[in-house]
Amino acid sequence: MSQKYIEVSGKTIEDALAEALATLNMDRDSVSVEIIEKPKSGFLGIGAVPAKIRVSYEYSKADKTRDFLEELFKLMKMEAAVTIGEEEEGRLNVSLSGDEMGLMIGRRGENLDALQYITNLAVNKNETDRVRVNIDTENYREKREESLERLAKRVADKVLKYGRSVSLEPMPPSERRVVHAFLQDYKGITTFSTGSEPQRRVIVAPAGAQNKRERDSKK
């Protein structure tokens, strides 16, 4: 949690405060006010000085995340509603909704992963207390994880039946981790990754095929 502030001028302190609250879309109890300069009426209106105040408010990681995403979607000319849950154990879960979420997801979630990556960079910039921002839309990630687990089971059963290794299609790190985790206790099966990004892929193999290089490739 950090603090931000805006400075606002008005004919009176009350006018300046009302403008600040309207700008921030906040209520009086959510801000602190410092009077920088009191208003002066001057003589016959000549030399009048407006009131100037500094209005401070708490700026959470959730606020920072929302502001970044809404500004990004504005630049992209894309309509998207941003819903952010409470921060828990250093994590923020963000749900996006709108008519163009298929485009936002991209092929196998690549666009969604890229959005999540740059959002984490932006939100944690110049911060010592970092937070992990997880972004999802239309429950895509849960559906994709379930799909990957079904695939992993089918392939593992095939490997056990024929005794031959099977190479899966290239996947991003997050999806490879799902496969490794799902099959880590699968009797008679081992998994490892091979290749370089973005063509790195999971190999599902009989347990006897594992060697040291493979044990070091669970990524």
- Please check whether the two domains, 61-138 and 142-215, share a CATH topology: no
Q: What is the mean pLDDT of residues 138-161?
A: 96
Q: Domain 61-138 has what CATH class? A: alpha beta
Q: The tokens of 151 are what?
A: 């695939």
Alpha carbon distance 162, 212 (integer Å): 23
% of the chain surpassing 70 pLDDT: 93
Whole-structure pTM value: 0.69
Q: Which residue has the higher pLDDT, 158 or 61?
A: 158
pLDDT at res. 88:
84
Q: What is the pLDDT of residues 179-188, one digit of tens each?
A: 999 999 999 9
Q: The tokens of 111 are what?
A: 């666009």
pLDDT at res. 215:
47
pLDDT at res. 1:
62
Q: What is the mean pLDDT of residues 132-144?
A: 94
User: What is the 3-class SS of the chain, one letter each residue?
Assistant: CEEEEEEEEECCHHHHHHHHHHHHCCCHHHEEEEEEECCECCECCECCECEEEEEEEEECHHHHHHHHHHHHHHHCCCCCEEEECCCECCEEEEEEECCCHHHHHCHHHHHHHHHHHHHHHHHHCCCCCCCEEEEEECCHHHHHHHHHHHHHHHHHHHHHHHCCCEECCCCCHHHHHHHHHHHCCCCCEEEEEECCCCCCEEEEEEHHHCCHHHHCCCC
Q: Which residue has the higher pLDDT, 26 or 157?
A: 157
Q: Is the pLDDT of residue 107 over 70?
A: yes
Per domain, the residue ranges of the chain are: 2-59, 61-138, 142-215
**Average model confidence (pLDDT) for the chain?**
89
pLDDT at res. 213:
47
Q: What is the mean pLDDT of residues 128-157?
A: 95
Q: Is the pLDDT of residue 2 over 80?
A: no
Q: Domain 142-215 has what CATH class? A: alpha beta
Q: What is the mean pLDDT of residues 146-159?
A: 97
